[in-house]
C-alpha cells in the first residue's frame, strides 16, 4: 500500500507514518499488509501470515495436522493459539509455541541460534515473517484505528501511535490518546499479556513505551537514547531523531529490525511477579544498548576484557545484570566456539542482595542454570569445579581456605560481573577471586619464576573478563575497569548518567530542596588547667560531648519533627517517611529517645519513630540493641517501616546505603558526609513513588557547596583529571628500600622462604624472626615523626601496589618480594601509645551556650556541565594541591616573608605536610568527618602546633616565626586544616 501526498498534507502524521513503513519494508525485511483484508479483529491476528509461516517452516508437522484434523486444521491451530495466549504472555507463546494432539508441536517463532554450527537453524530464523499494518481498526465496538501495528508470523508484537511535530502534535499527545481512546477492555490486541507486547508513542524526536494499558492510569516510560548526557535523542543526519526505532544507524541496529526485535522477544522481555503484582519488563534503551554492545565486544575480542558500566540509580541495574549473565554464557565467537564457561556475579555486600538473586533466577529459561551461593565457601568451590553456568556470590567467599585450594581453572573462561564496583575490587578479596579462577599447580622450582608467576596472577588475565557496574565510579574504579579513549584517559564502556535518569523521571533530584543549619557551641571548662583536656584524644571527646549534649539534640529534634509535620507528613497521601542520619550509634539512640519524648510531650499521636544500629550499645548504664529499642527483630524493620505505624527512621551507618524505601521523602543529616558517601546516603531519597515529586533535605553538618561538589563527579560521565602515574610505585619502593629500617638481604631471605608455599609452623616462626630485625631497628629510632611517616609509607605502598599489579603486568620480582615482606612488617610494627579513654562529664565541662541558626535554603541542583573531574591516584595517601590551595599557600609564604624579612620558599612550607601526615591518623580523620568544623578545629590546631614545634626543633628561623607570630601561625594552621578536611572527605 502506497501513499501520494499533496503540498497541503505533507506535514500530516500519515507522512511520518508512511516513512516508518517504507524504512521497515525496504531496510528491515518487513512486508506491508492491508488490515481491511488481512486483520482478524476478534483474534487480533493476521491468520494468513501465521499459516504461511507454519506451512513453510514446518511442513511435516502441518501434514500431520491436516491428516488428523482435515478441514478443521487451521481452526484447531487458532483455537490452541487462543488458549495459549490466555494462559501465557505473548512473548512466552512465541518462545514456546503450541502443541496439539497427537503430539504435534508448532514453533511460532525461530530465534537466532547462538552459533552457526547448524545451518538449518539459521535458515529457520531467516524464515520468520515480519509484517506491518497501517491504520488498524482493532475494535468490533468502534471505528478506532491504531496508526501502526507490527507482527511476527502474524502475531502482533507492537502498536505505535505516531505524531508529527509539524502539526504541533508530539509523543505526549500519543500517550494521551492511548490513555483516553485505547481502552483495553474486551480488546484482544490491547489486553495485557494477551495482545501486543509493547505500545509505543512516537514523534520525530522522542519515543515512550508501556507494556500495560490501564486507561487513565497508564504509565509510559522513555525509550530514548539520551542526548548530551541528558534526556532526549541526538540529531541524526538527514533523518529524524527517532530513526533508531525503524532504521539501522552506524552505532546500532534498529529496535524494530529483525535482529533486535526477535532478540527482545527471545531473550529480554520478562514477566516479573511479586507482591501480588505482575509487570511485563521491556528493556529501556540504555539496558538494551548496554547488553548488546557488551556481547558484541566480547564476541569480537574474546575473554580477558574489562567493561565499566556507569548506570545511574533507577537504571534497572539488576535486570541489566541478569540479561547480561544469561546471554553471555551462550555467546560464541566467529569460529562458533563458546567464549565463556561460567558467569560469576559478585557483590561486596556480606549478605547477597535478594532482589538481584531473584531477578537473575527469574530470568532463567532452563532449570539449574543459576547457582545462588547463600551457604559456605565450600558450596562456591563446588559450583566452580562443577562448571555451573551462572553463579551468584559475595566476593568475601573467595578469600577462604576452600577457595585457596582450588586450581585447574585457567583453561576455563569466566565473565565476572561485579555489582557495585568500588575500591574493594582492588583489594585482597578481589585478588583472591582472581587467584581462584586462574591458579594452577607450579611447574617450576626456581624461586624467581614462582614469584613472577605469583605477581602475574595479580594482573590482567586472559581467561577473565570483568564487567563492573556502578553509578558512582571512583578514580580506582575508572583506572581498573575503564577503557582508554583517544584522550588517553579511561572512560566507562557504557553510560546512563544521573542527569539523564533525573530528566527522564526514573529518579528524583535529591538536591532540589536543600536546607542547611549551622550549630554554634560555647564550651566552658570547670578546671581551666585540667590535664584531661590536653591532646588530640581529649579534643575529640570534647567535640563528641558537645554534639551529644541534650541541649544540642533537643533543638535539632524540634526542628526535625516540626519540619516533618509541616512539610512532609501529608505527602504521598500521608504515607511519607523520613530518615535521620546520625554520626554514631549513641547519637542514633539519643536522637531516637529525644524524638519519642518530644512527640509524646507535644501529643503528636500520629508520629512514631524507629532506630537502626548494629550490635549492643551501653548508654547511661543500660544495654540497648536495635531489637530491644524497637520491640521487634532487626529483620522486621524494613517491612514495619513500610507500613502505616512508623514515619521516622533514625540510623547510624545502617541503612545509609543499599536501602530502597520509595516512600522516603525527607532526610535530616547530622553527620559529615564526604564525597561518595554523600551521594550514596542522599540517594536513599531518590526512588520514585506514585505521587512523589519532591524531596527535602535538612543538613546540620554539611554546606550546600560541599554536597554539590560531592555530586558533581557523578552527575554526568565520570572522568579523570589525568591518568595515574603508575611509576609512582617505584618512588614508593625507593623510599621504603632506602629507609634505615630495611635491609635488602632480609627482604630476599624472607621471600625465598615465603614463596615456596606450604609453610609450616617453623617456617612462619623463622619468617617472623626475619621481619622482627626491622622492627627492632624501628623501635630504637627516637624520631616519632619519622616513624609515623614510615608507617604511612608502608600503607601507601601496600595499597598502591595492589592497584598497579592489577592494572599492568609488572614483571618485577623485587616489587612482589617487597610487597609480601612489608605486609608482615606492617602488622608487626608497634602501634603508637594510645592514651586512656577520657570521659567528659558536666563536672569538667559545661555547654554554656548553644545556638542553631538556619543557613542556606533552596534549590541546590546541578545543571548541565556542572561536573568535576576526579583526581588521579597519588600514592594512595598523598593529597595533591588544588589550584585554590596553591594560591592560598603562595599568599601565606608572601605574608611570612614580608612580615619577618625571611626568604621562605614553597618547599620550606611543604614541610608542614609532614606535620599533617603525623597527626592525620584514622581517629583524627573520623573526628573531622563526623563533627562541625568549628568544633573539631581546636583539636586539630592543638595537634598541629605540637607537630610544628617538633618539626622545627632544628630550624631556628622557622621555629621563631611559628612560636612568636600568632597570626602567621593561625594563617598556616587554617590552610593545612582545610587540606586535612579535603583529605578526610576523600576517604
pLDDT band at 501 (very low <50, low <70, confident <90, very high): very high
User: Contact 698/508 with Cβ under 8 angstroms?
Assistant: no
User: Contact 591/547 with Cβ under 8 angstroms?
Assistant: no
What long-range pairs does 787-793 form, CB within 8 A, spacing at least 24?
788/832, 788/917, 788/918, 789/914, 789/917, 789/918, 790/739, 790/741, 791/826, 791/829, 792/877, 792/917, 793/732, 793/735, 793/736, 793/739
* Residue ranges of E strands in 779-899: 845-858
User: Contact 594/586 with Cβ under 8 angstroms?
Assistant: no
SS3 state of residue 678: helix
Q: Is the pTM of this model over 0.85?
A: no
514-715: which CATH topology? Answer: Rossmann fold (3.40.50)
Mean pLDDT of 600-621: 92
| Angle in degrees, CA 870, 874, 875, rounded to 5 | 145
Is the pLDDT assigned to residue 728 strictly greater than 70? yes
Q: Output the pLDDT for position 963.
A: 76
Alpha-carbon gap, residue 234 to 226, rounded angstroms = 7
User: Contact 147/169 with Cβ under 8 angstroms?
Assistant: no
SS3 state of residue 918: helix
Q: Output the pLDDT for position 877.
A: 45
Closest CA to 121 of 140, 141, 107: 107
User: Contact 266/423 with Cβ under 8 angstroms?
Assistant: no
DSSP string, 38-52: H-BTTTTB-HHHHHH
Closest CA to 291 of 262, 258, 325: 325
pLDDT band at 118 (very low <50, low <70, confident <90, very high): confident
Q: Output the pLDDT for position 970.
A: 84
Is the pLDDT assigned to residue 293 strictly greater than 80? yes
Alpha-carbon gap, residue 189 to 341, rounded angstroms = 41
Strand-pairing partners, residue 465, are: 415
User: Contact 915/947 with Cβ under 8 angstroms?
Assistant: yes
SS3 state of residue 713: helix
Of residues 456 and 129, the one with the higher pLDDT is 129
Q: Output the pLDDT for position 834.
A: 44
Is the pLDDT assigned to residue 909 strictly greater than 90? no
Of residues 13 and 537, the one with the higher pLDDT is 13
Q: Is the preceding omega at residue 609 within 30 degrees of 0, hence cis?
A: no
User: Contact 455/816 with Cβ under 8 angstroms?
Assistant: yes
DSSP string, 735-757: HHHTSTT--HHHHHHHHHHHTT-
Strand-pairing partners, residue 342, are: 414
Percent of residues, the chain, with pLDDT higher than 90: 57
Q: Which of 127-136, 390-399, 416-425 has the lowest mean pLDDT?
A: 416-425
Q: Output the pLDDT for position 620.
A: 87
| Angle in degrees, CA 329, 330, 335, rounded to 5 | 120
Is the pLDDT assigned to residue 130 strictly greater than 70? yes
Is the pLDDT assigned to residue 839 strictly greater than 90? no
Strand 609-612 and strand 648-651: the pairing is parallel
CB burial of residue 940 (10 Å; 0-12, 13-18, 19+): buried
Alpha-carbon gap, residue 350 to 358, rounded angstroms = 17
Residues belonging to the chain: 987
pLDDT band at 3 (very low <50, low <70, confident <90, very high): very low
Q: Output the pLDDT for position 256.
A: 98
Closest CA to 548 of 653, 619, 650, 651: 619
| CA 576 from centroid of its chain's CA atoms | 25
Of residues 423 and 382, the one with the higher pLDDT is 382
Mean pLDDT of the chain: 87
Q: Which of 591-595, 670-674, 874-878 is most confident?
A: 591-595
Mean pLDDT of 98-111: 96
Q: 650: Cβ–Cβ under 8 A, 6 or more apart, which residues?
A: 579, 580, 582, 588, 591, 592, 595, 609, 610, 611, 612
Three cell numbers at 476?
A: 580506582
Three cell numbers at 107?
A: 514453533
Alpha-carbon gap, residue 897 to 981, rounded angstroms = 26
Is the pLDDT assigned to residue 751 strictly greater than 80? yes
Q: Output the pLDDT for position 7.
A: 40
Dump pLDDT digits (tens) for 768-817: 999 999 999 999 988 877 887 888 889 889 888 988 998 899 999 999 99
Dump pLDDT digits (tens) for 621-670: 899 999 999 999 988 999 999 999 999 999 987 887 778 899 999 999 99
Q: Output the pLDDT for position 954.
A: 63
User: Contact 801/728 with Cβ under 8 angstroms?
Assistant: no
CATH of domain 283-496: 3.40.50.300
Q: Output the pLDDT for position 535.
A: 52
SS3 state of residue 306: strand
Alpha-carbon gap, residue 719 to 739, rounded angstroms = 36
Alpha-carbon gap, residue 23 to 911, rounded angstroms = 69
Is the pLDDT assigned to residue 857 strictly greater than 90? no
Dump pLDDT digits (tens) for 65-78: 999 999 999 999 99
CATH 3.40.50.300-classified regions of the chain = 283-496, 514-715
Is the pLDDT assigned to residue 836 strictly greater than 50? no
Three cell numbers at 375?
A: 551457604
CA atoms within 13 A on the CB side of 464: 25
Is the pLDDT assigned to residue 981 strictly greater than 80? no
CA atoms within 13 A on the CB side of 957: 10
pLDDT band at 582 (very low <50, low <70, confident <90, very high): very high
Dump pLDDT digits (tens) for 205-234: 999 999 999 999 999 999 999 999 999 999
Alpha-carbon gap, residue 211 to 197, rounded angstroms = 6
pLDDT band at 895 (very low <50, low <70, confident <90, very high): confident
- Rounded to the nearest 10°, the torsion over CA 385, 387, 391, 396 is 20
DSSP string, 386-438: TT-SEEEEEGGGGGSHHHHT----TTS-EEEEEES--GGGGSHHHHHHHHHHH
Q: Give the chain's radius of gyration (CA, Å).
A: 33
Residue written as grid cell 530528566 = 503
Q: Output the pLDDT for position 835.
A: 44
Q: Output the pLDDT for position 986.
A: 53
Q: Tally helices (H) and strands (E) across the chain.
A: 37, 29
Q: Output the pLDDT for position 361.
A: 73
Of residues 435 and 84, the one with the higher pLDDT is 84
Sign of CA dihedral 675, 681, 687, 690: negative
pLDDT band at 526 (very low <50, low <70, confident <90, very high): low
Of residues 520 and 48, the one with the higher pLDDT is 48
Amino acid at each position: 500500500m502506497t501513499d501520494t501526498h499533496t503540498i497541503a498534507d505533507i506535514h500530516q502524521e500519515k507522512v511520518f507514518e508512511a516513512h516508518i513503513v517504507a524504512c521497515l519494508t525496504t531496510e528491515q525485511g518487513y512486508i506491508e499488509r492491508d488490515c481491511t483484508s488481512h486483520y482478524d479483529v476478534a483474534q487480533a491476528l493476521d491468520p494468513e501470515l501465521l499459516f504461511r509461516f507454519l506451512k513453510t517452516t514446518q511442513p511435516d508437522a502441518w501434514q500431520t495436522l491436516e491428516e488428523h484434523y482435515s478441514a478443521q486444521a487451521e481452526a484447531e491451530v487458532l483455537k490452541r493459539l487462543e488458549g495459549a495466549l490466555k494462559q501465557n504472555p505473548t512473548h512466552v507463546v512465541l518462545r514456546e509455541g503450541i502443541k496439539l494432539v497427537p503430539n504435534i508441536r508448532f514453533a511460532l517463532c525461530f530465534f537466532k541460534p547462538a552459533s552457526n554450527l547448524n545451518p538449518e537453524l539459521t535458515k529457520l530464523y531467516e524464515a520468520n515473517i515480519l509484517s506491518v499494518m497501517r491504520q488498524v481498526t482493532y475494535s468490533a465496538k468502534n471505528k478506532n484505528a491504531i496508526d501502526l501495528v507490527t507482527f511476527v508470523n502474524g502475531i502482533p508484537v507492537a502498536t505505535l501511535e505516531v505524531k508529527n511535530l509539524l502539526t504541533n502534535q508530539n509523543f505526549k499527545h500519543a500517550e494521551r490518546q492511548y490513555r483516553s481512546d485505547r481502552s483495553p477492555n474486551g480488546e484482544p490486541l490491547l489486553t495485557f499479556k494477551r495482545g501486543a507486547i509493547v505500545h509505543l508513542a512516537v514523534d520525530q524526536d522522542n519515543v515512550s513505551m508501556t507494556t500495560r494499558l490501564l486507561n487513565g492510569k497508564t504509565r509510559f516510560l522513555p525509550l530514548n537514547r539520551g542526548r548530551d548526557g541528558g534526556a532526549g535523542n541526538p540529531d541524526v543526519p538527514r533523518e529524524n531523531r527517532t530513526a533508531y526505532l525503524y532504521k539501522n544507524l552506524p552505532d546500532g541496529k534498529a529496535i524494530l529490525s529483525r535482529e533486535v526485535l526477535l532478540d527482545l522477544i527471545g531473550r529480554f522481555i520478562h514477566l516479573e511477579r511479586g507482591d501480588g503484582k505482575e509487570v511485563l519488563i521491556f528493556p529501556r534503551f540504555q539496558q538494551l544498548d548496554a547488553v548488546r554492545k557488551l556481547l558484541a565486544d566480547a564476541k569480537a575480542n574474546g575473554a580477558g576484557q574489562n567493561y565499566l558500566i556507569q548506570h545511574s540509580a533507577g537504571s534497572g541495574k539488576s535486570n541489566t545484570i541478569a540479561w547480561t549473565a544469561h546471554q553471555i554464557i551462550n555467546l560464541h565467537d566467529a569460529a562458533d566456539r563458546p567464549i565463556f564457561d561460567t558467569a560469576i556475579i559478585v557483590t561486596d555486600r556480606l549478605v547477597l542482595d535478594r532482589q538481584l538473586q531473584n531477578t537473575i533466577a527469574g530470568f532463567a529459561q532452563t532449570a539449574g542454570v543459576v547457582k545462588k551461593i547463600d551457604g559456605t565457601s565450600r558450596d562456591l568451590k563446588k559450583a566452580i569445579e562443577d562448571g555451573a553456568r551462572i553463579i551468584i556470590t559475595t566476593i568475601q567467599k573467595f578469600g577462604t581456605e576452600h577457595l585457596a585450594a582450588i586450581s585447574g581453572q585457567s583453561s576455563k573462561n569466566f565473565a565476572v560481573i561485579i555489582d557495585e564496583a568500588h575500591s574493594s575490587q582492588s583489594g585482597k578479596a578481589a585478588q583472591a577471586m582472581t587467584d581462584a579462577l586462574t591458579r594452577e599447580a607450579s611447574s617450576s622450582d626456581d624461586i624467581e619464576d614462582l614469584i613472577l608467576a605469583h605477581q602475574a596472577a595479580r594482573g590482567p588475565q586472559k581467561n577473565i573478563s570483568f564487567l563492573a557496574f556502578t553509578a558512582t565510579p571512583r578514580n580506582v574504579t575508572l583506572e581498573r575497569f575503564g577503557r582508554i579513549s583517544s584522550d588517553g584517559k579511561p572512560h566507562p564502556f557504557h553510560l546512563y548518567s544521573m542527569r539523564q535518569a533525573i530528566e527522564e523521571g526514573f529518579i528524583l533530584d535529591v538536591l532540589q530542596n536543600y536546607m542547611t543549619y549551622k550549630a554554634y557551641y560555647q564550651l566552658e571548662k570547670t578546671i581551666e588547667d585540667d590535664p584531661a583536656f590536653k591532646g588530640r584524644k581529649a579534643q575529640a571527646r570534647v567535640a563528641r560531648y558537645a554534639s551529644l549534649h541534650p541541649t544540642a539534640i533537643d533543638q535539632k529534634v524540634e526542628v526535625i519533627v516540626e519540619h516533618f509535620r509541616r512539610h512532609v507528613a501529608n505527602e504521598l497521601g500521608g504515607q511519607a517517611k523520613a530518615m535521620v542520619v546520625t554520626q554514631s550509634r549513641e547519637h542514633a539512640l539519643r536522637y531516637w529517645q529525644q524524638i519519642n519524648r518530644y512527640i509524646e510531650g507535644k501529643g503528636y499521636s500520629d508520629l512514631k519513630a524507629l532506630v537502626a544500629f548494629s550490635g549492643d550499645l551501653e548508654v547511661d548504664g543500660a544495654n540497648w540493641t536495635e531489637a530491644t529499642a524497637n520491640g521487634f527483630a532487626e529483620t522486621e524493620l524494613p517491612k514495619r517501616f513500610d507500613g502505616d505505624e512508623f514515619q521516622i527512621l533514625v540510623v547510624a551507618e545502617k541503612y545509609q546505603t543499599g536501602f530502597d524505601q520509595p516512600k522516603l521523602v525527607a532526610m535530616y543529616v547530622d553527620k559529615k558526609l564526604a564525597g561518595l558517601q554523600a551521594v550514596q546516603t542522599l540517594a536513599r531519597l531518590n526512588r520514585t513513588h506514585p505521587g512523589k515529586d519532591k524531596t527535602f533535605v535538612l543538613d546540620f553538618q554539611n554546606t550546600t557547596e560541599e554536597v554539590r561538589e560531592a555530586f558533581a563527579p557523578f552527575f554526568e560521565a565520570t572522568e579523570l583529571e589525568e591518568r595515574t602515574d603508575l611509576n609512582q610505585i617505584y618512588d614508593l619502593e625507593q623510599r621504603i628500600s632506602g629507609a634505615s629500617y630495611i635491609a635488602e638481604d632480609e627482604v630476599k631471605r624472607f621471600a625465598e622462604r615465603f614463596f615456596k608455599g606450604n609453610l609450616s609452623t617453623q617456617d612462619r616462626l623463622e619468617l617472623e624472626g626475619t621481619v622482627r630485625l626491622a622492627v627492632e631497628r624501628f623501635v630504637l629510632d627516637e624520631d616519632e615523626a619519622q616513624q609515623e611517616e614510615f608507617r604511612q609509607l608502608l600503607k601507601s605502598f601496600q595499597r598502591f601496589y595492589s592497584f598497579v599489579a592489577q592494572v599492568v603486568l609488572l614483571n618485577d620480582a623485587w616489587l612482589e618480594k617487597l610487597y609480601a615482606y612489608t605486609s608482615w612488617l606492617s602488622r608487626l610494627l608497634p602501634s603508637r601509645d594510645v592514651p586512656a579513654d577520657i570521659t567528659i562529664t558536666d563536672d569538667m565541662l559545661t555547654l554554656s551556650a548553644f545556638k542553631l541558626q538556619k543557613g542556606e535554603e533552596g534549590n541546590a541542583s546541578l545543571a548541565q556541565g556542572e561536573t568535576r573531574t576526579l583526581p588521579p591516584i597519588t600514592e594512595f595517601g598523598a593529597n595533591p594541591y588544588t589550584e585554590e590551595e596553591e594560591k592560598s599557600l603562595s599568599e601565606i609564604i608572601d605574608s611570612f616573608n614580608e612580615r619577618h624579612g625571611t626568604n621562605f620558599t614553597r618547599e620550606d612550607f611543604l614541610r608542614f605536610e609532614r606535620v599533617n601526615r603525623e597527626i592525620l591518623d584514622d581517629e583524627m580523620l573520623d573526628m573531622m568527618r563526623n563533627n562541625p568544623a568549628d568544633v573539631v578545629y581546636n583539636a586539630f590546631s592543638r595537634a598541629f602546633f605540637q607537630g610544628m614545634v617538633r618539626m622545627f626543633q632544628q630550624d631556628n628561623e622557622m621555629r621563631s616565626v611559628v612560636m612568636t607570630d600568632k597570626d602567621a601561625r593561625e594563617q598556616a594552621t587554617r590552610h593545612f586544616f582545610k587540606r586535612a578536611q579535603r583529605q578526610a572527605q576523600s576517604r
